[in-house]
Structure 1
Amino acid sequence: MAIKFVHQTARKVMDNPAANPRIKALARGLGYLSPISEALVRLRLFCYRTNICRTFRLGRRVISVGNITVGGTGKTPLVAYLTALFKERGKAVVILSRGYRRKGKGVEVISNGKGLLTSREKSGDEAYFLARLSGGVPIVVGKNRVRAGELAIERFDPDVILLDDGFQYLPLEREVDLVVIDSSNPFGTGRILPGGILREPLSSLKRADIFCLSRTDQAQDLDRLRALLRSINPEAPIFECIHSPSFLRRIPGGEKVDVRLLRGRRLFAFSAIGNPMAFERTLTDLGARLVGVRSYIDHYSYTTADIKEIAQQAKGSGAEFIVTTAKDMVRLPGGYHPCIEVFALEIRIEITRGADIIESIINPEA
């Protein structure tokens, strides 16, 4: 119970720190730590900027796809999207991932481009999900992305290396620093962790070469966001995308089902992602009626007891279906089948503005 309280409290602080007096007090307490965190971040940035800390080149074209906030901005599906475009042009691609919260150690090839070579637990759920999205592309995981890149070159001799979640990984030099910003919640309260969702000060966006604004269909004030980015980094071009629902995947079994199934139906939604409200809004935009929701802290590993509890809540709320995200699907335990049908919503990246900028990434010599 204590662990669940911590998970839910952390989520409430991120989503709405003024929800009630207790949450507001906790948010205020965390906020006092933000200046200390910011000072440490600035010191680290200074060390790399002045070459006190060493950086490395891999001798291949490296493209980093990252963000400046914690939580889901949409960088993982964008990495998969770019991977597919490079493959269409006949380029050999390797993805480097940290393998966040993985149980394996060191640097490891989790996919050789022909299939997965290890479990989700040893890969990390983010890298494992990326391997599902980017079939046919080698993926190397490890905290030391320089060593991971060296191994990737040794094993696969790629033309291009995509560095997943690489904006803060300063030891590795890159040709393109692409920063993804979630238009539905760009910077939270504007404070650095732990009092906010920023990993670095907004001034760090000066390092970006290109901005991607994701979920622009859920933006509050897109013009203001564009203006802010141009004021920080006027040289970086901006392209925009939405996360378009692609299909439903039945759990278990994996059968593909048309998303129109959800129209007018009563749903119970659950997720453990960085921006659960964006997921829930997508479901309502599909015409579904949300009769209950449950959100967990990002990257939460579900237990069978969690799924039983979700099923009970869904049944009690009168839900016809239970829906989660494709990211959550890979973290679900096997062996338990709720009495209500369960689906995962698969999404795809759809570029809505700045397709020429994407082309400049894929083919810089054009």
Structure 2
Amino acid sequence: MNWRRLLLPFSGIYWGITSIRNFFYDVGVRRTASFDLPIINVGNLSVGGTGKSPHVMYLIELLKDQKMTCTLSRGYGRKTSGFRIANYDSKVYDIGDEPMQFFRRFKNKILISVCERRVFGVQSLLKHFYPEVIILDDAFQHRKIKAGFNILLTDYNHPYFEDYLLPGGDLRESRRGAKRADVIIVTKCPETIPDDRYKVFQEKIKLTGNQQLFFSKIVYDNVLIGEMDNIPHNDWKNKNVILVTGIANPTSLVNFAEANFKNVLHLKYPDHHNFKDVEIDYIRKRFAETEGEKIIVTTEKDYMRLFEEKSLINDMYYLPIRIELNDKEKFNQTILDYVRTH
């Protein structure tokens, strides 16, 4: 038995607080700000681990050549506050790891912004930069702003309908919150979804008339990216790897690494982890102790917090990921239709 189930009585208190809050927004007691441009919100009901970043990047790739696109994130883990725009002088502690990841991948193709006050963030973007579409990163519970289109993500192996509210589970709000979504995406799916499991998702999610359900899987790139060089897939099999992760659920990455490299030592840290000097020293020590052909591999998000470490940079690489959807054409058309008509 999961020991957190002992905390389920306290989940009832959390349910009461979040349900009252959502009710006040639903009936208009608490005000919600609307804006006259397309705003797409990507979020979830649970605390992390559903793969928001690759889905946001999928949307960026889809829209960047169609409209002047901006992303707005809270900037989790940054040491600054207020509204900021990512630029070439930005550090990860100025804007957060995920916005830095977006900036390094897309650079001048879109605008990357952070602000813990989402309404003020959108107002600032409209006042100074004139975006044509805004992608909100992880704002499903941020009811002060009304997105025109909501995308809800849920993990295939840990779906919201099998979870419980905090602290007994990982849900930030009641499962009923899923009804606010226009699209629900089941993420981190296996290569093939068994028919019985597919039916479970269809039956348990219970789509309303205007909702759509999609399934996505993670696809790892066949090239490791480093500051000095890149390593193609056919050079991986003889490498001993120190795998460093600071993400919510590294299981699929660990499995992929163990299947593609000679030996893997996994050093696991919490999501959005800010590495301390003693931890950098430990990573370096374990790398020095590793024999044979060796490299340090990390996620693209973790790389944003590690690439300025001069003692690691020459031996460290990240593995880019992307998502594939079960019905890419339908999903793309749904998003493009919303953007063009709003």
- Do both share a fold (TM > 0.5)? yes
- CA displacement at 1:55 relative to structure 2: 0.4
Equivalent residue for 1:300, pick from 269, 273, 279: 273
Instruction: Kindly report structure 1 stretches of 4+ aligned residues shifted beyond 4 Å.
Output: 28-32, 218-222, 314-319
Please state if 1:197 is matched with 2:170.
Answer: yes
Equivalent residue for 1:352, pick from 318, 326, 331: 326
Aligned counterparts, 1:251-262, within 5 A = 253-262=227-236
Q: 1:93 to 1:334 in 2, by over 3 A?
A: closer
Higher RCO (CA-CA < 8 Å; seq separation 6+): 2
SS in 1 for 2:13: helix
- CA displacement at 1:226 relative to structure 2: 2.5
Counterparts of 1:255 and 1:359, CA distance in 2: 37
Equivalent residue for 1:223, pick from 193, 198, 204: 198
Q: 1:340 to 1:76 in 2, by over 3 A?
A: closer
Please state if 1:95 is matched with 2:71.
Answer: yes
Equivalent residue for 2:13, pick from 23, 36, 48: 36
Q: 1:335 to 1:139 in 2, by over 3 A?
A: closer
The CA RMSD measured in Å over matched residues stands at: 2.7
- CA displacement at 1:182 relative to structure 2: 2.2
Counterparts of 2:92 and 2:315, CA distance in 1: 24
- CA displacement at 1:224 relative to structure 2: 4.4
SS in 2 for 1:312: helix
Please state if 1:329 is matched with 2:329.
Answer: no
Verify the 8 A CA contact 1:311 1:340 in the aligned structure 2. Answer: no
Please state if 1:76 is matched with 2:76.
Answer: no
Aligned residue number for residue 120 of structure 1: 92
Equivalent residue for 1:104, pick from 80, 95, 101: 80
SS in 1 for 2:265: strand
Aligned residue number for residue 7 of structure 1: none
Please state if 1:240 is matched with 2:215.
Answer: yes
| 1:222-259 per-position Cα deviation (integer Å, ceiling 9, x unaligned) | 41452245425464212222221122122xx2523223
| 1:135-162 per-position Cα deviation (integer Å, ceiling 9, x unaligned) | 2211221111111101111112111111
User: What code does the residue aligned with 2:34 have?
Assistant: R
Verify the 8 A CA contact 1:188 1:196 in the aligned structure 2. Answer: no
| 1:292-325 per-position Cα deviation (integer Å, ceiling 9, x unaligned) | 2121111110123212212333555657332111
Equivalent residue for 2:225, pick from 227, 231, 249: 249
Verify the 8 A CA contact 2:161 2:205 in the aligned structure 1. Answer: no
SS in 2 for 1:101: coil
Q: 1:220 to 1:273 in 2, by over 3 A?
A: farther
Please state if 1:279 is matched with 2:256.
Answer: no
Aligned counterparts, 1:16-55, within 5 A = 18=2, 24=3, 27-28=4-5, 30-55=7-32
Counterparts of 1:241 and 1:260, CA distance in 2: 26
Verify the 8 A CA contact 1:302 1:333 in the aligned structure 2. Answer: no
Verify the 8 A CA contact 1:188 1:197 in the aligned structure 2. Answer: no
TM-score (normalizing by structure 1): 0.82
- CA displacement at 1:277 relative to structure 2: 0.9
Verify the 8 A CA contact 1:61 1:175 in the aligned structure 2. Answer: yes
User: What code does the residue aligned with 2:158 have?
Assistant: N
Q: Count residues in correspondence.
A: 335
Unaligned runs of 5+ in 2: none
SS in 2 for 1:88: coil
Q: 1:290 to 1:208 in 2, by over 3 A?
A: farther
Verify the 8 A CA contact 2:161 2:175 in the aligned structure 1. Answer: no
Aligned residue number for residue 176 of structure 1: 149
TM-score (normalizing by structure 2): 0.87
SS in 1 for 2:151: strand
Counterparts of 2:199 and 2:288, CA distance in 1: 42
SS in 1 for 2:99: helix
Give identity over the alignment, percent: 27
